[in-house]
Amino acid sequence: MKGAPGGGAPGGGRHDGRYGEAVFRPEQAGEGTRIDFGALAYDDITLARLRELGAGPGWRCLDVGAGTGTVSRRLLEEAGVTSVLAVDRDVRFLEAPPVPGLDVLAADISAPSFAPGRFRLVHARFVLMHLPERDRLITALAELVEPGGVLVLSDAIDLTSGRTPDTPYSMTMRAMWEGLRATIGTDVSWVPAYPRLLRGAGLGSVAAEVHVPPLLPGSPISRFWADTWERSRAAMVATGLVDDTDVDAAIRYLDADECAALSAGMLTAWGRKPASGPAAAPA
């Protein structure tokens, strides 16, 4: 049945699973490669922003939900930061090869006890969108920033809209967001609010930018979506918005010359902790 969204969970409230369990299980073959396709699409943008914000020698950094660790490693190897603590619930992709300055910690960042220290940079990319209580977590992450340091958050923004024609591609993209919301509570509707949430967490000099990688056949982002849809296919079909034929057509479309669609984008928002005391709360 295709029709109304099937059982979404506004605010991420009605879902049974967690990232890495119902979908995106790290032990499933190829999951590290899927994360790496996302990293290939976005790492240059992320590194440029982090360096622009000052990441470099002398900086102690925290990378939460570090995945395969590409940002952690490039912070050390290219930006020359002093150390990176890479944290993930599952650290199997982070431990090898070792890099001087890279420390790895297996931890759930949602745990109230998560307090690994204070850092000049706290970075989370494509993590908070999958977790409930994003506003509490933003406040908690802001607490881990040392005075004068920065919190940098990147997450996906959905660029399908009421004006997007119902093609297999657009229906599949919508079904992915709906299916992930219903199974693990993923909710990207919060992401445009990040600048305001950072300000509310006491950070100043808040700003944000958006990057939309071009969907070119064979590109890392096209391969990322194709693999993501394969891995979340059951959740997508369960929404009732698409069937297997639609998902297959959308995956073929990504690899076709006639592909003329817009990828989801990445919004990066950042804020700086005042050198002494929190920024004045907004009026």
Residues forming contacts to ligand SAM in the complex (CB under 6 A) are 19-20, 35, 38-39, 65-67, 70, 88-90, 108-110, 125-127, 130-131
Q: What residues does 210 pair with on adjacent strands?
A: 267
Helix 168-184 vs helix 244-254: angle between axes, to the nearest 10 degrees? 120
Coarse DSSP helix, strand, coil percentages of the chain, rounded to the nearest 5 percent: 40, 20, 45
**Closest listed residue to residue 71, CA positions, set 100, 42, 92:** 42
Cβ contact 240:6 at 8 Å = yes
| CA–CA gap between residue 60 and residue 268 (Å, rounded) | 20
DSSP-assigned letter for residue 77: I
| Cβ distance to ligand SAM smaller for residue 70 or 160 | 70
Residues 119, 71: Cα–Cα separation, whole Å: 16
What distance in Å separates the CA atoms of residue 84 and residue 94, rounded to the nearest whole number? 12
